């Protein structure tokens, strides 16, 4: 529907979407602009979001909704950079420290990587929280600082400015408290509005699938991936999505300083094979989108090039790349109750345990602990003896350990038969 005149009736728009009638492009543009300016009340937008959750948005409506979110604020102009630009976004998981490695790695191969990242909420960790465990490192940069660092270093990982898609900031907070987070169109618009406004020419989406991911089901993950790929390409951003498994934590560390330390292992040419595999798969996709041929990201890990870019990036943002990572005051081991082969180590349960130990937050304003988290001493496929450590719980508050242990009840399964490994990279979505 389209409401005539300059003043639109929000209730009519709510009723239209409630009754499965399409919203006009002008109505959507007016609505989001008015909401950012405070002319549409939260309770009215909440009702509309619930109607969208239940009845969806058509491709045309979603394109208009995303465009309006982008136009609600400023856009970064990266056209003056001397290197091609490409970025990556992950939908979030447990132990997903790939961004810390990937940005300097792809920069070492010749691209400029503007990684505007976020903080963790619930059981999934946030890239900014991880990097803030490095003494002196700062997440907030001006647009000029971002551009200067991209030109001089090749990559930046920082917080998105308050004027980048401000409609998303308001809508995300509202969705979080109104039970409307799960809408695929709203998820896609939230992610893509920020990434398109960021100004990058290419974007690789890492859509996590499984117990520890937002998307538990492969088909819904494919639907989200396809929706985001189409939005990116409709707005002139070369976009591809990779579906990766998140039934088991990625790597051996879940927690802020713990994950930085593991990232340094990978940048040193070592590190857990699963982290290396996912990182190299995403790096290859990014380099292809950037049009960089002949680069060998595995070689850039092995020869120290990626580590040098990482150190420059940390130093450019005020951090000390030589500072030792902080360590937890209390460590508690979770041991095997029987001998056999680990078949299950549930990513969601590990993520909740890390959150309860202090690594995550329940609300955006909550503080997080740099040292809290979970270290994996064994993973599915490993044989263990009775009493052998499987997990280590790290915390500054030992009173949090019983609650973390409660989250892990049933998380580990040890059986007698051999373990059949499943692929990490599940699919590639181009349209």
Q: What is the mean pLDDT of residues 105-113?
A: 98
CB 105 within 8 A of CB 276: no
* Length of the chain measured in residues: 431
Separation between Cα atoms, residue 260 and residue 287, nearest integer Å? 24
**Burial classification of residue 236, based on how many CB atoms lie within 10 Å of its CB (0-12 exposed, 13-18 middle, 19 or more buried):** exposed
Q: What is the reported pLDDT for 431?
A: 82
For the question of residue 194 being annotated catalytic, the response is yes
Range name among 105-119, 288-302, 361-375 with the lowest pLDDT average: 361-375
Question: Once rounded to an integer, what is the mean pLDDT over residues 55-65?
Answer: 96
Of residues 387 and 120, more confidently modeled: 387
Whether 142 sits among the annotated catalytic residues: the reply is no
Q: Is 305 a catalytic residue?
A: no
* Residues 6+ positions from 416 with CB-CB distance below 8 Å: 340, 341
Cβ atoms of 309 and 156 within 8 Å: the answer is: no
Q: Cβ atoms within 10 A of the Cβ of 365, count?
A: 6
Distances (CA, A) of 156 to 102, 107, 401: 11, 10, 35
184: tokens are 């695929």
The average pLDDT across 221-243 equals: 96
pLDDT for residue 5: 35
pLDDT of residue 160: 87
CA dist., res. 163 & res. 161, Å (int)? 5
What's the mean pLDDT in 142-167? 94
Lowest mean pLDDT among 193-202, 239-248, 360-369, 407-416: 360-369
**150, two tokens:** 């991209």
| Band of pLDDT at residue 121, cut at 50, 70 and 90 | low
356 is an active site residue: no
Domains and CATH numbers, the chain: 10-56 (1.20.970.10), 86-316 (3.40.1030.10), 330-415 (3.90.1170.30)
Average pLDDT estimate for 170-176:
88
Give the pLDDT confidence of 245-300 residue by residue, as tens digits: 999 999 999 999 999 999 999 999 999 999 999 999 999 999 999 999 999 999 99
**Per-residue model confidence (pLDDT) at position 123:** 78
Q: Looking at 27, 168, 206, 346, which residue is catalytic? A: 168
In this predicted structure, what is the pLDDT of residue 3?
Answer: 42
The residue with greater pLDDT, 361 or 45, is 45
> Out of 17, 119, 194, 311, which one is annotated catalytic?
194
The DSSP output letter for 133 is T
What share of the chain in percent tops pLDDT 70? 97
Which pLDDT band holds residue 134 (cuts at 50, 70, 90)?
very high
Catalytic residue, chosen from 8, 17, 89, 195, is: 89
CA distance 29 to 52: 16
Q: What pTM, to 2 d.p., does this model score? A: 0.94
The pLDDT of residue 365 is above 80: no
Catalytic choice (90, 99, 133, 190): 190
Q: Is 332 a catalytic residue?
A: no
Give the residue-averaged pLDDT of 176-190. 91
Residue from 97, 119, 175, 394 carrying the catalytic annotation: 175
- Residue 6 confidence class, pLDDT cut points 50, 70, 90: very low
pLDDT at residue 185, as a whole number: 96
256, 369 contact by CB (below 8 A): yes
Mean pLDDT, the chain, rounded, equals 94
For residue range 191-205, list pLDDT tens digits in order. 999 999 999 999 999
What is the structure's pLDDT at 125? Answer: 78
């Amino acid at each position: 529907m389209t409401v005539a005149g300059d003043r639109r009736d929000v209730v009519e728009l709510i009723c239209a979407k409630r009754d499965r009638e399409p919203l006009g492009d002008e109505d959507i543009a007016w609505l989001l602009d008015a909401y950012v300016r405070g002319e549409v009340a939260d309770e009215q937008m909440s009702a509309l979001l619930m109607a969208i959750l239940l009845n969806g948005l058509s491709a045309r409506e979603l394109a208009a909704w995303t465009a309006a979110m982008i136009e609600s604020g400023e856009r970064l102009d990266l056209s003056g950079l001397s290197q091609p630009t490409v970025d990556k976004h992950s939908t979030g998981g447990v132990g997903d420290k790939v961004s810390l490695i990937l940005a300097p790695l792809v920069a070492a191969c010749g691209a400029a990587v503007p990684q505007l990242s976020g903080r963790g909420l619930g059981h999934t960790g946030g890239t900014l929280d991880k990097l803030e465990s490095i003494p002196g490192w700062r997440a907030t940069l001006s647009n000029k600082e971002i551009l200067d660092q991209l030109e001089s270093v090749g990559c930046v990982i920082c917080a998105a400015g308050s004027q980048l898609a401000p409609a998303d900031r308001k809508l995300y907070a509202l969705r979080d408290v109104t039970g409307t987070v799960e809408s695929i169109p709203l998820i896609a618009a939230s992610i893509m509005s920020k990434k398109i406004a960021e100004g990058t020419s290419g974007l690789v989406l890492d859509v996590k699938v499984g117990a520890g991911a937002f998307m538990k089901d492969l088909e819904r993950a494919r639907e989200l991936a396809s929706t985001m790929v189409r939005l990116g390409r409709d707005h002139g951003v070369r976009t591809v999505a990779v579906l990766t498994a998140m039934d088991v934590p990625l790597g051996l560390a879940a927690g802020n300083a713990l994950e930085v330390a593991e990232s340094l292992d990978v940048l040193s040419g070592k590190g857990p094979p699963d982290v290396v595999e996912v990182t190299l798969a995403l790096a290859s996709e990014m380099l292809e989108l950037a049009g960089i041929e002949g680069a060998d990201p595995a070689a850039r890990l092995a020869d120290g090039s990626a580590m040098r870019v990482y150190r420059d990036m940390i130093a450019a943002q005020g951090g000390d790349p030589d500072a030792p990572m902080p360590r937890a005051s209390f460590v508690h081991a979770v041991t095997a109750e029987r001998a056999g082969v680990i078949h299950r180590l549930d990513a969601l349960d590990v993520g909740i345990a890390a959150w309860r130990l202090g690594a995550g937050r329940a609300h955006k304003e909550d503080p997080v602990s740099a040292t809290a988290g979970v270290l994996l001493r064994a993973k599915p496929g490993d044989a263990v003896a009775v009493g052998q450590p499987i997990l280590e719980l790290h915390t500054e508050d030992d009173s949090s350990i019983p609650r973390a242990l409660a989250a892990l009840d049933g998380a580990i399964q040890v059986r007698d038969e051999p373990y059949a490994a499943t692929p990490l990279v599940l699919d590639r979505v181009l349209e």
